């Protein structure tokens, strides 16, 4: 029944990461899911077995020191994280660390999955000195509520949803300090199983009002002088999706790393390391991520910049022989209130812009295979210089193709659109660009009128 009990490190930390940063988790198709059964009381034997399985992914020392514990509960088993044993370790490097105890309740389902739930505040802080400079940080994420289903077979969550009540983060070092606050957050996860240890995934996260203030001290000799930048946003939305993630192989790689953390062990297991790394390729078939801030205001010493929305998206294939990857950045509704800008410049500032770049025919598979074939962690140089030269030569002989998708700058007086391609074959890069502009007469007229009066 080991498969029935297996919990990976992501079980302990995945729900937390998903709540804070949209970490991926997964769900099977509706036809594959069974109705959950009522939780049954846990047993001492079951808690001991689950603790033993957990050690595969968090390390035996974490269990022995009481950092991770498993106890029977009337509703299953309670997995707890206690940072107190880490205090002495932190003191050993001249640091301090503290965190509120954190736990989750789990119970098994007939289909081999586990139901997971938690409802607790999340707080931790640390302080240390590096090269004589003090650094500290404190995180209070408020109350976190999460429920989901975890599949040991897939090495991933099958479903999940949760909320954060909102929180505060602070950090400080010799030249800067930061305070950030955010409002309530929600997240939901969906997906489907597509193979043995392989999953499709999707997640949506929304965050309430954000405020972040950063202060910088440009000159250490003048501690009373600082520069402040304030970031305010009405909301943040994050979406991520992908196909055929090698979730099980990635979890197995993590377990291997935990079991071979000592230098001598990893040196002696070089062949297995290469096999584990090869098993995670190509990581996934493809993925897409997008985030968008809305109602944004950035206050700086030179003025305040406001936008209705600014978004960024990244997507692409896995590690393939002819991969395609894409990056896009855009904003809408930009306005600038600055004492250093004259009033007439308002019609020349792009109120809207998009940048969209695609890379095609990028061969990451061949260099990956070359690297894995030569990898030997027992050598002084795990990857030989000759292999590095072969990889560099491969990229030179098989360059990718870069496409600039229609990119726009739109201001009150003008609009500029640019598209084209870049290639990297031969002795120098070559580019073909198409640029179209509208309204240049109005822009020139604005400049001429400004020159006549300024």
pLDDT at 156 > cutoff 90: no
Separation of alpha carbons 62 and 65, rounded Å = 5
pLDDT at 34: 55
Other residues' Cβ atoms within 10 Å of the Cβ of residue 256: 19
pLDDT at 83: 84
Q: How large a percentage of the chain has pLDDT more than 70?
A: 90
Q: Between 232 and 36, whose confidence is greater?
A: 232
User: Average pLDDT of 126-142?
Assistant: 86
User: Average pLDDT of 122-151?
Assistant: 88
pLDDT in tens, 381-411: 999 999 999 999 999 889 999 999 989 999 9
Q: What is the helix, strand, coil percentage profile of the chain, to 5?
A: 25, 45, 25
pLDDT in tens, 189-222: 887 889 889 999 999 999 999 999 999 887 766 7
Quote the tokens at residue 76.
């299953």
* Alpha helices in 118-262, H assignment, sequence order: 247-259
pLDDT at 324 > cutoff 80: yes
Nearest 5 degrees, angle CA 306-CA 307-CA 311? Answer: 140
Beta strands 185-195; 156-164: pairing state: antiparallel
Residue 21 confidence class, pLDDT cut points 50, 70, 90: very low
pLDDT at 22 > cutoff 60: no
Nearest to 76 by CA among 106, 49, 104: 106
Separation of alpha carbons 109 and 248, rounded Å = 19
Nearest to 241 by CA among 276, 286, 283, 205: 286
* Alpha helices in 111-233, H assignment, sequence order: none
Separation of alpha carbons 86 and 127, rounded Å = 13
Secondary element (H or E) of residue 369: helix 365-374
Separation of alpha carbons 62 and 83, rounded Å = 10
pLDDT at 36: 66
Nearest to 39 by CA among 8, 77, 2: 77
Quote the tokens at residue 176.
């800067």
pLDDT in tens, 260-283: 999 999 999 999 999 999 999 999
Separation of alpha carbons 105 and 119, rounded Å = 9
pLDDT at 95 > cutoff 80: yes
Instruction: Specify whether the CB–CB gap between 55 and 67 falls below 8 A.
Output: no
SS3 55: helix
Instruction: Specify whether the CB–CB gap between 315 and 323 falls below 8 A.
Output: no
Length reported for the chain: 454
The span from the first CA to the last CA of the chain, in angstroms, equals 82
Residue 12 confidence class, pLDDT cut points 50, 70, 90: very low
pLDDT at 11 > cutoff 50: no
Dihedral (CA of 249, 253, 254, 259) sign? positive
pLDDT at 38: 79
* Residue 236 CA neighbour count, 13 Å, CB half: 22
pLDDT in tens, 404-439: 998 999 999 999 999 999 887 666 778 899 999 999
User: Average pLDDT of 97-114?
Assistant: 90
Nearest to 301 by CA among 344, 349, 339: 339
Radius of gyration of the chain (CA): 26
Separation of alpha carbons 65 and 78, rounded Å = 17
Separation of alpha carbons 284 and 280, rounded Å = 9
User: Average pLDDT of 36-65?
Assistant: 90
pLDDT at 19 > cutoff 60: no
Other residues' Cβ atoms within 10 Å of the Cβ of residue 146: 22
pLDDT in tens, 355-381: 999 999 999 999 999 999 999 999 999
Separation of alpha carbons 276 and 252, rounded Å = 8
pLDDT in tens, 302-322: 999 999 999 999 999 999 999
């Amino acid at each position: 029944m080991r498969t029935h009990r297996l919990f990976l490190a992501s079980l302990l930390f995945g729900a937390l990461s998903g709540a804070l940063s949209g970490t991926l988790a997964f769900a099977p198709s509706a036809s594959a899911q069974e109705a959950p059964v009522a939780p049954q009381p846990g047993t001492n034997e079951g808690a001991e077995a689950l603790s033993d399985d957990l050690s595969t992914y968090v390390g035996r020392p974490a269990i022995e020191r009481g950092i991770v514990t498993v106890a029977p509960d009337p509703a299953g088993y309670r997995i707890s994280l206690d940072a107190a044993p880490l205090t002495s370790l932190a003191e050993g490097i001249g640091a301090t660390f503290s965190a509120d105890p954190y736990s989750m309740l789990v119970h098994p389902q007939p289909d081999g999955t586990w139901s997971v739930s938690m409802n607790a505040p999340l707080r931790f802080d640390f302080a240390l000195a590096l090269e004589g400079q003090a650094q500290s940080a404190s995180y209070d994420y408020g109350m976190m509520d999460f429920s989901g289903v975890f599949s040991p077979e897939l090495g991933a969550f099958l479903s999940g949803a949760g909320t954060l009540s909102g929180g505060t983060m602070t950090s400080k070092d010799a030249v800067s300090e930061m305070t950030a606050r955010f409002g309530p957050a929600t997240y939901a996860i969906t997906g489907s199983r597509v193979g043995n240890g392989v999953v499709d995934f999707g997640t949506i996260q929304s965050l309430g009002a954000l405020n972040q203030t950063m202060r910088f001290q440009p000159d250490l000799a003048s501690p009373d002088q600082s520069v402040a930048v304030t970031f305010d946003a009405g909301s943040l939305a994050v979406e991520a999706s992908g196909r055929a993630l090698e979730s099980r192989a990635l979890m197995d790689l993590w377990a291997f790393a935990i079991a071979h953390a000592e230098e001598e062990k990893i040196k002696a297991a070089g062949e297995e390391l290469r096999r584990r790394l090869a098993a995670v390729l190509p990581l996934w078939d493809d993925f897409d991520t997008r985030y968008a801030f809305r109602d944004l205001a950035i206050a700086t010493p030179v003025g305040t910049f406001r936008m209705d929305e600014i978004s960024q998206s990244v997507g692409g294939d896995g590690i393939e022989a002819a991969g395609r990857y894409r990056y896009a950045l855009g904003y809408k509704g930009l306005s600038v209130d600055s004492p250093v800008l004259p009033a007439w410049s308002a019609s020349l500032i792009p109120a809207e812009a998009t940048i969209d770049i695609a890379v095609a025919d990028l061969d990451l598979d061949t260099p990956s295979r070359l690297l894995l074939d030569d990898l030997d962690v027992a050598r002084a140089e795990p990857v030989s210089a000759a292999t590095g030269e072969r990889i560099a030569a491969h990229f030179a002989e098989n360059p990718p193709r870069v496409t600039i998708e229609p990119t726009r700058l739109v201001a009150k007086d003008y609009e500029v659109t640019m598209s084209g391609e870049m290639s990297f074959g031969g002795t120098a890069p070559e580019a073909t660009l198409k640029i179209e502009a509208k309204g240049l007469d109005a822009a020139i007229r604005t400049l001429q009128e400004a020159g006549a009066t300024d």
